[in-house]
A and B are shown apart, each in its own frame.
Chain A
Amino acid sequence: MAMRKKGSHKILYSIFGWTVVLLISFPLLWMILTSLKPQSELFLIPPGLLPNEITFEHYVRLIQETPFLTYLKNSIILAVGTTVVVVVIATLGAHSLVRFSYPGRKSLAVLVLYTYLLPSVVLIIPLYLLMVKVGLSNTLVSLIIAYTTFALPFALWLLRSFMAAIPADLEAAAMVDGATRMQAFFDVILPQAIPGIISTALFTAILAWNEYLFAMVLINNDEVRPLTTGIMSMLVSSFNIEWSLLMAASVMMSVPLIIVFAFLQKYLTRGFGAGAIKG
């Protein structure tokens, strides 16, 4: 009896779970399906779920006739650049916050969190003016710096909880064994922090990949536009929306993220855990 009850519970949970998954993933599914439909099927009434005829013409047009590849390149540079800058600074910073003792260490950690609480909107205009002043406006570097302002505090806090979980004795042992502090960090601490570093890198890369607001305000040149604003500006105008191309571009924009996710998913969930419990 109890067993059967348990079994039926399981089925109910599964039905509920899959319903939620379907609801959430429907727009994504629709995006993929639309990108594969020929132009003629787009506005059929009633709309068909599956395309009658599958076509890749939109993808070909996207790559051959639009600056999509330039945008893609820019987005990759942005994501990788921001991730490298943020992860390097956050790893060293988190280690310092956890292991060293110096005046103001705790208040520094809290201050960093406060900057994260600041809405990005209030930073945009000052940052824009700053970039113009130092001659970095309309460059990818300006965006990397801008993304770092909001990605770094979060990364620092995430890594801080990972670093705190690494026993201090390990570093001490390495130093007694003959390592300098830097060697101890690279030989012993870094390998222990790899899961944390990977999940922090993922969070940062996703933030940079999806960022829209800063890219719109700080970049005014097609050569350095990332995918987010690039797709919008080339396919959405006041008169016309190129739905097929837009959907194809959206699919292409999601694919890199999905691939990265598939490989590193286990680290990401571990990162969520660390943030939730110890952060």
Chain B
Amino acid sequence: MTDTSLGIHIECVSKSFDDVLAVDTLDLEIRKGEFVSILGPSGCGKTTLLRMLAGLEQPSKGTISIDGAVVNDLPPSKRNIAMVFQTYALYPHMTVAANIEYPLKKRRTPKADRTRLVHEVAAVLQLEQLLQRKPRELSGGQQQRVALGRALVRDPAVFLLDEPLSNLDAKLRAHMRAELILLHRRIGRTMVYVTHDQLEAMTMSDRIAVLCDGTLQQFEAPNDIYSRPRNKFVAGFIGTPSMNLIEGRLSGTGDDRVFRSGDWTLPIRDLALTGETANGIQDVPVTVGFRPEDILLGDTGDEARVTVVEPAGHEVIVVCRFHGHDILLRVSPDIRLRPDDRVRLTPKVDKLHVFSEPDGRRINDDLPK
């Protein structure tokens, strides 16, 4: 592990606008060189958090430090960070070359070095042919690369990226995603990437910070977040199609432990629970979750009626009516199902996620440290 004083430390940071609390006592430690995504639905405070890192907003409370130094009172220009905006924010009256050169100019880099650095960055991002163009004469992908170039050219300690791919079409987005991963690997700088697109977060990040209503829900590696969501929000938010969540009650202990929801009874004796529930408290309200791919289809189990079939080429998403709930099922295209077909299904108990109610905390298996 690297020196813990390096990287970004966010401690107890809150930010309110008038009466609205955008970020609520947030703690986050981002290691030097790490690629961290901040993921959450619109309005969860992720852009506010990024703008506070950039120095464009002041935290109402708490401290932010970069590489061991508190930066709360430093203006953006003194923080040694670069930011790529969702709108790219290229300076429309300057050429591509002038746009990339601007941060160097503000740092009083000598002219000869500026020219050399601009050309180096342009070569990396394949912008050499476009240096004399104005931003409005470029395509979305090219503008995106210029925005990246402007961030890259001065070799900052931290890159902040605010939904940089959301204005691109799907194909270009996939391409730029790969480019960004390569770029991160090559320059090894800390990158903080804000997105509402979980595919981007899952594919690119070392760790993902899931945010909801200004509070941190979970901060772990993509796989851990997917396989062990810490609460009901993360469980429902991560994964496409999303996890099936069914409310019910948990009762019994040991081998007799069952989950009941309406007329559905699911024996879950093999499940390891944590906290008070482990001691066999009778009849507590819980929500169980299971992913669409964690369902056994076969001769046993309870009956469900197929309502919608959505073929997606390599897989088929099936919506079933199951004990009064609509549940999603991910099956191989070889299994030919039609609406109104009857199927029998059982969630895989070892892949079950149990959340206590009403706080929505995960209460089964080994919670990550």
For the complex formed, measure the closest distance between the CB of B46 and the CB atoms of chain A, giving whole angstroms.
16
Q: Identify A178's interface contact among B51, B92, B106, CB under 8 A.
A: B106
Contact indicator per residue, chain A 150-194, by CB within 8 Å of chain B (1) or not (0): 000000000000000001011011111111110100011001100
Q: Kindly identify which residue among B85, B102, B103 contacts A169, using a CB–CB cutoff of 8 Å.
A: B85
Given contacts A178-B107, A180-B75, whether A173 and B92 have CB atoms under 8 Å apart is no
Do A175 and B87 touch across chains, with their CB atoms under 8 A apart? no
Best-buried of A167, A173, A178 by chain B (most CB within 10 Å): A173
Name the residue on B nearest A171 (C-beta).
B89
Contact pick for A175, options B77, B107, B160, CB 8 Å: B77
Is B150 part of the contact surface with A, judged by Cβ < 8 Å?
yes
Query: CB of B82 within 8 A of chain A?
Result: yes
Q: Which residues of B contact A167 (CB under 8 A)?
A: 87, 89
Q: Within the assembled complex, what's the spacing in Å between the Cα atoms of A167 and B89?
A: 8
**At the interface, yes or no: B83 with Cβ under 8 Å from chain A?**
yes
Total A-B contacts with CB atoms under 8 angstroms apart = 62
Distance (whole angstroms) from the CB of B152 to the closest CB of chain A: 12
Interface mask (A80-91 → B, CB under 8 Å = 1, otherwise 0) = 000000000000
Contacting A172 at CB < 8 Å: which of B56, B90, B93? Answer: B56
**Contact between B56 and A176 (Cβ–Cβ < 8 Å)?**
yes
- Chain B window 133-161, contacts with chain A (Cβ cutoff 8 Å), 1 for yes, 0 for no: 00000000000000000100010000010
B204 touches A (CB below 8 Å): no
Query: Of B77, B90, B91, B92, which one neighbours A176 at CB under 8 angstroms?
Result: B77
Q: Is B76's CB within 8 Å of the partner chain A? A: yes
Q: Which of B56, B76, B85 neighbours the largest number of chain A CB atoms within 10 Å of its CB?
A: B76
- Residue in chain A with minimal CB distance to B77: A178
Chain A, interface SS category: helix
Q: Nearest-CB distance from A168 to chain B (Å)?
A: 9
Given A178-B103, A178-B107, A183-B106: A173 in contact with B77 (beta carbons within 8 A): no
B10 at the A interface (CB under 8 A): no
Q: How far is the CA of A183 from the CA of B85 in the complex (A)?
A: 19
In the complex, the chain A residue whose C-beta lies closest to that of B17 is A101
Q: Among residues 67 to 112 in chain B, which have CB atoms less than 8 Å away from a CB atom of chain A? A: 75-77, 81-83, 85-87, 89-93, 102-103, 106-107
> A173 to B51, alpha carbons, bound, how many Å?
11
Known: A167-B89, A179-B77. Is A174-B54 also a contact (CB below 8 A)? Answer: no
Establish whether residues B75 and A173, one from each chain, have CB atoms under 8 Å apart when the complex forms.
Answer: no
Asked if B85 contacts A174 (CB within 8 A), the reply is: no
**Contact call A170/B83, Cβ cutoff below 8 A:** no
CB distance from A24 to the nearest CB of B (A): 38
Residues of B within 8 A of A172 (CB): 51, 54, 56, 76, 83, 85, 89
Q: Which residue of A lies closest to B102 (CB)?
A: A177
Residues in B neighbouring A169, C-beta threshold 8 A:
85-87, 89
**When A176-B81, A187-B102 are in contact, do A170 and B91 touch as well, CB less than 8 Å?**
yes
- Check B150–A177 contact: CB distance below 8 A: yes
Q: Which 8 A-B pairs have the closest CB atoms?
A: A178-B106, A173-B89, A169-B89, A177-B103, A191-B93, A175-B76, A178-B77, A176-B83
* Partner-B contacts on A (CB < 8 A): 167, 169-170, 172-181, 183, 187-188, 191-192
Jot down 16 A-B pairs with beta carbons below 8 A, ordered by A.
Answer: A169-B86, A172-B56, A172-B83, A172-B89, A174-B91, A175-B55, A175-B76, A176-B76, A176-B81, A176-B82, A177-B103, A178-B77, A187-B91, A187-B102, A188-B91, A191-B93
